[in-house]
Amino acid sequence: MDWANVAIQGILLGGLYALFATGLALVFGVMRMVNLAHGDLGILAAFVALFLVQSFHIGVLWSGLLTIVIMFVVGYLLQRGLLNFTLGSDDTRPIVVTFGLSIIIQNGLIMWFSADSQGLDAGKIENISIRISDKLSIGWFPLLVFITSIVVIALLQTFLNRTKLGRAFRATSDDREAAELMGINNRHIYGLAMAIALAIVALAGILLAVRTTFDPTQGPFRLIYAFEAVIMGGMGSIWGTLIGGIVLGLSQTLGSQAFGSGWGLLVGHLVFLTVLAVRPSGFFAKTVTA
């Protein structure tokens, strides 16, 4: 494969990584909570979509939309029914609880669907591509994923910057107690933040499931890539997460091209560690203190 081709693939792959990372960044940004089950919840969404396709014989598009709605509701209930109770003075509690949640989801999925690899079939779109020259062609589906991630991030950023509720998200992130004094119910805001995060990661999980095969054990890998994208991009910057995802995707595909197919992931991690060492706050860190 040509280098330019590989680079384009890497950039497009970065869009998917960014989509996985966005919800993680949002949840951390609004409530300073690290959700270790984030990747598993994305994979869970892929299985929910698969289940809907198989049970009700609907297309991937409808199944996907329905899954996103379901995960939105699950996110709100999960936050208000469980995770809100872990927040407080002790930062390790949500980590322990979401770690347990991650194990429960993985094993639940294995019990229900077995450990076999699954795929979501979206039809023709998976295989068609745009030919730019003899050596260069771009797959429609990866391009679509990339565009989707840009649209989602733009919508989320607009929501946070321009709407009354988005302002309440940022105020709560700045100072929870002062936000309460403004009449903002932080538990509700946290519920909404998790709902949006899970809707976005559901979208990411479904797109992943169409792009490649998936199985119940993939969540933690998705989580690590998401972490790497968020940290490289800079905590608190959603557009930074896209850049972080692209850097990670590029490193992985270029690494595979240069050193052989097994080496891509390692190169990705090494680039991440280098960024962490040289620029620990990431590319676009937005940290503001009073």
290 lies in the site for another protein, by CB under 8 A: yes
Residues in CB range of 128: below 8 A, 6 or more apart: 139, 140
Binding footprint of another protein, residue count (CB under 8 A)? 22
Within 183-242, the residues that bind another protein by CB under 8 A are 183-186
Min CB(244)–another protein separation in Å? 20
For 233, the token pair is 């991009």
For 187, the token pair is 């538990």
Span of 56-64, 78-86, 174-182, 221-229 interacting with another protein by CB under 8 A: 174-182
C-beta of 166 vs 220, nearer to another protein: 166
Separation CA 241–CA 26 (nearest Å): 10
Among 174, 212, 279, 280, binds another protein (CB under 8 A): 174
285 lies in the site for another protein, by CB under 8 A: no
Long-range contacts of 64-72 (CB under 8 A, 24+ apart): 64/203, 64/206, 67/202, 67/206, 68/199, 68/202, 68/203, 68/206, 69/199, 70/202, 71/41, 71/44, 71/45, 71/198, 71/199, 71/201, 71/202, 72/195, 72/196, 72/198, 72/199, 72/202
92 lies in the site for another protein, by CB under 8 A: no
Min CB(167)–another protein separation in Å? 6
C-beta of 117 vs 185, nearer to another protein: 185
Separation CA 228–CA 150 (nearest Å): 18
124 lies in the site for another protein, by CB under 8 A: no
30 lies in the site for another protein, by CB under 8 A: no
167 lies in the site for another protein, by CB under 8 A: yes
C-beta of 121 vs 174, nearer to another protein: 174
C-beta of 135 vs 170, nearer to another protein: 170
